[in-house]
Structure 1
Amino acid sequence: MNTQQLLKKLTKQLDALREEVIIHDKNLNPWQKKLLQDTERFNNELFIQHGAILFPCITQIHSNICQLEKLIKLKVTKQAIELSCAKIEDRFTAVKRAINSTTTNINIVKQQKANARARYARKSEQAHAETEFDWIASSVMQNSHAIYEELNKHFNWARKIEQKIAKMESNLENCHSTDKIKLQNDILLMHRRLGKCRQAIRYIEDRIQTIERPYQSNNR
């Protein structure tokens, strides 16, 4: 294949890839573009490009082909031309791979953001719990005997609340319609109390683990 045929082949490849990229970019919705706006899709040696839109890559490949044409006119060595062609082919391959992986990249970023939100929610919940149960920390957390007594006390409270809920739900079946709404609200209130009690139990258990961890490490 002579140099003119080579340039014609690369230009034809670029035209076909341009059509694919135009369709790809057109099918992206604003949310997807925003999601990938800070994502690097390529190695910096291949393209200078960020985000979901791939058309800037077409412009850069076009510049590469123009540079190759100049090299041919300067009658550089065959090895230099082959090296330039190899780099252009690498860019073609990279863009095709990026077109096929856009959906995967979107799902990865979505999962990363969801994980970040979940971590933030857990930290917020933990911070809230620590603030809410400060009275436990201030009164019993420095005394290993007292902390287990507090844990047992909350387990007993939780069991009594569960029994009370079960009784109220049993009464609900035979309750007069005029009293049913009030009883349902009372059951809901008891469930909230049970939830708070279980949160306190988890808080105390976490603190027990924190206290006992250094002791366990020293006895290994």
Structure 2
Amino acid sequence: MRNTNQLIHQLKQQLNTLERDALNHDQQLPSQQKKMLQDIERFNSQLFIQQGAQLTPCIQQLKKDIVQLEKQLSLKLDIKIIELSCQRIQDRFTALRRALVTTNINVKTAEQKRANNRARYAKKQQQQHADSGFAWIANNVMKNSHQIYQELNKHLNWATTFEQKIAEMETKLANCHSADKITIQNEILSLHRRLGKCRQAISYIEDRIQMFERPNRNTNR
């Protein structure tokens, strides 16, 4: 009886120390690190059901383990069951202590993963720029928002001009001599092609504007 009481006492002392360390760890966590690790699984699921940077929730799970062990001891269950419970508690103690000193490593790993994802995304966007036929826009005017909107307004004005010319030519086509119809029709067709290309450029620039402004929105949150 004395040995079992001593065992529980030692486990509770260890837990009290870990609880102070976990509370201190969580209180000192920068908000950026909390956000960085919010979806990261910190443990094997057989040890703790816990994700994110904060470790205090693990303490509650350990408290339940010790309470369960106390019940097993009071009921004098088979020694193998007791040993398994003790081993599980010690494994969780070890995992939690390790987690307390590896948060910075987890953060750096998450940062590297995010940087790799950004690099892959940027490479994909560059390829899309090259394939779109509008890479010259990205190269010349995607330096700042002022240039982007200038280029958008320029293409919107061109589109309006083309639409007006098409309307004029269609009116002219309706009233021209039959000998001139083919020439006017070809001119209208050419204007429609230029208008279509202009609209594609407008869509392209609008997509780039959304990409340009998205980091700013995330920063302001």
Q: Does 1:38 align with 2:35?
A: no
What SS is found at the alignment partner of 2:39? coil
Structure 1 vs Structure 2: percent identity of aligned residues?
Answer: 50
Which residue identity lines up with residue 129 of structure 1 in the other structure? A
Measured in 1, the distance between the counterparts of 2:114 and 2:65 equals: 36
What SS is found at the alignment partner of 1:2? helix
The equivalent of 1:107 in structure 2 is 108
User: Could you list the per-position Cα deviations for residues 85-133 of structure 1 after superposition, in whole angstroms to 9, with x for gaps in the alignment?
Assistant: 1100000000011111100000000010011011111110111011127
Measured in 2, the distance between the counterparts of 1:5 and 1:122 equals: 61
Which residue identity lines up with residue 17 of structure 2 in the other structure? A
Measured in 1, the distance between the counterparts of 2:18 and 2:93 equals: 8
Q: Does 1:48 align with 2:66?
A: no
Task: State the 4+ residue runs in structure 1 displaced beyond 6 angstroms.
Answer: none
Where in structure 2 are there 5+ consecutive unaligned residues? 136-221
Measured in 2, the distance between the counterparts of 1:91 and 1:65 equals: 11
1:81: how far off? Answer: 1.1
How large is the RMSD of aligned CA atoms in angstroms?
1.3
Measured in 1, the distance between the counterparts of 2:134 and 2:78 equals: 77
The equivalent of 2:131 in structure 1 is 130
Q: TM-score, normalised by structure 1?
A: 0.59
Measured in 1, the distance between the counterparts of 2:35 and 2:4 equals: 42
Which residue identity lines up with residue 5 of structure 1 in the other structure? Q
Where in structure 1 are there 5+ consecutive unaligned residues? 135-220
Please list, as runs of the form range in 1=range in 2, the aligned pairs for 1:52-201 lying within 5 A after superposition.
52-132=53-133
Measured in 1, the distance between the counterparts of 2:35 and 2:85 equals: 34
Which residue identity lines up with residue 82 of structure 2 in the other structure? I
Aligned residues: 134
Measured in 2, the distance between the counterparts of 1:76 and 1:131 equals: 72
